[in-house]
Amino acid sequence: MPVVWIIEDEKIQQETAKRIVKKTAVEFNALLHMVLWDGRGALTEEQTSKQPDLVVLDLNLSQGIHGLEALRTVPGFENADVFHPYVIIWSHFDGELELYEMAPAQDQKSHLNEDRVIRTYWKSEKNLETALKGFLSRLMEEGVYHEDISL
């Protein structure tokens, strides 16, 4: 079962993302395991038990937390060789994306696979949906493995 993480601090945006992920999953007839996180709260053991396959990421999290920093807390991130989740950076072009541009300079360790990262320039539902559809279909083709094979 693919694991989707939504890292977003604003409740409304979180709900929106959740709804869109659900809707897309129904369209793909895919069973998903979804984890919602605000980027700083404690994670339960169940949530950290599986690595994410797809992350919907907000860059500008509350209390000055950078989205990519939060991403480093995600389980599996330490295994750079095998961990290559699809990342949808869902943010506005004004200001927030600069955070993304800055990140590699600040931290050499951020090792996202560019082929699997997409940035939206506008935080709209449509953008998220399009990106989700594309990445979910890639996920289904390229595969995901968490002991149980569901796709």
- Smallest distance, other proteins to C-beta of residue 142, A: 5
Tokens of 129: 């949906």
**28: number of Cβ within 10 Å:** 17
Alpha helices in 63-95 (DSSP H): 67-71
Nearer to other proteins, 98 or 142 (CB): 142
Q: Is 102 one of the binding residues for other proteins (CB under 8 A)?
A: no
Applying the rule CB under 8 A, the residues between 24 and 43 that interact with other proteins are 25-26, 28-29, 31-38, 41-43
Q: Is 103 one of the binding residues for other proteins (CB under 8 A)?
A: no
Interface mask toward other proteins for 56-95; x: CB under 8 A: ------------------------xxx-x-----------
- Rg (the chain; Cα; Å): 14
Largest CA-CA distance found in the chain, in angstroms, rounded: 41
- Smallest distance, other proteins to C-beta of residue 141, A: 4
Identify the burial level of 42 via C-beta atoms within 10 angstroms of its C-beta, where 0-12 means exposed, 13-18 middle and 19 or more buried.
Answer: exposed
Q: Is 144 one of the binding residues for other proteins (CB under 8 A)?
A: yes
Nearer to other proteins, 95 or 143 (CB): 143
What is the distance between the alpha carbons of residues 19 and 116, in angstroms, rounded to a whole number? Answer: 22
Q: Is 55 one of the binding residues for other proteins (CB under 8 A)?
A: no
Residue whose structure tokens are 């750079």: 80
Q: Do residues 93 and 123 make contact, with C-beta atoms less than 8 angstroms apart?
A: no
The residue ranges that bind other proteins (CB under 8 A) are 1, 18, 21-22, 25-26, 28-29, 31-38, 41-44, 46-47, 80-82, 84, 111-118, 130-131, 133-135, 137-138, 140-145, 149, 151
